[in-house]
Amino acid sequence: MYNEVLLDDDMIIVSETDQSGRIVYVNDDFCKMCGFSKDELIGKPHNIVRHKDMPRIAFKGLWESIQKPEIWNGIVKNKTKNDDFYWVNATVFPSKTIDGQVRYVSVRVKPTKEEVETASQLYKKLLQGE
């Protein structure tokens, strides 16, 4: 059985990916929550922390939004290195480097219990349709 890991109220998880979703930056809170070191994360696809309970369509909507470019916000269930899980309220937005390369920045905070309950029910229904 896997355990839920709760974010501290003051945690802010930040990561940045390139256009293909490969991680180029993570902060210490991200490493603390997921259990991976910065060296284990940099250069890897961001879906290294994707939990199997997350429906593909949720990420399809995320990618469609940020490539428009628009800001995306949603509740996401992630997995840790040892396969425990944690929920986040994620906001993802496009950015550019000083030389014009597109980057995607994700900022994640602790969701409310109600947000987690609603998302969990929705994702169960969406997974049944996949």
The per-residue pLDDT for range 16-57, each reduced to its tens digit, is 999 999 999 999 999 999 999 999 999 999 999 999 999 988
- In the numeric block, the tokens 């909507």 are attached to 61
pLDDT of residue 91: 98
- In the numeric block, the tokens 């059985």 are attached to 1
How much of the chain, in percent, has pLDDT values that exceed 90? 91
Helix, strand, or coil (residue 20)? coil
13-128: in CATH 3.30.450.20: yes
pLDDT of residue 90: 98
In terms of Cβ atoms closer than 10 Å to its own Cβ (0-12, 13-18, 19+), residue 84 is middle
In which element (H, E) is residue 66 found? helix 56-66
What are the domain boundaries of the chain?
A: 13-128
